[in-house]
Amino acid sequence: MENPAETKQDAPHPPKPPRLLDQLRDATRRLHYAYSTEKSYVSRARSAVGWKCK
């Protein structure tokens, strides 16, 4: 029989959910926004999150 401790270590980790800015990029691409718009939105979100976390 296998050791249960070994089985837990070998089990794959669940995938991590996408990060906030990656979700924003995906949404702008789904909506077919221009690349410059995507960059602007990500920049504004990054600065807003950075300001809020300080």
Tens-place pLDDT, residues 4-51: 655 566 778 899 999 999 999 999 999 999 999 999 999 999 999 886
Which amino acid is residue 39, in one-letter code? K
**Global pTM value:** 0.66
Token pair listed for 3:
């050791």
Domain locations along the chain: 18-53
- The backbone torsions φ and ψ at residue 38, rounded to the nearest 5 degrees and listed phi first, read -60, -45
The pLDDT of residue 27 is 97
- What distance, in Å, lies between the first and last C-alpha atoms of the chain? 52
Contact between 26 and 39 (Cβ < 8 Å): no
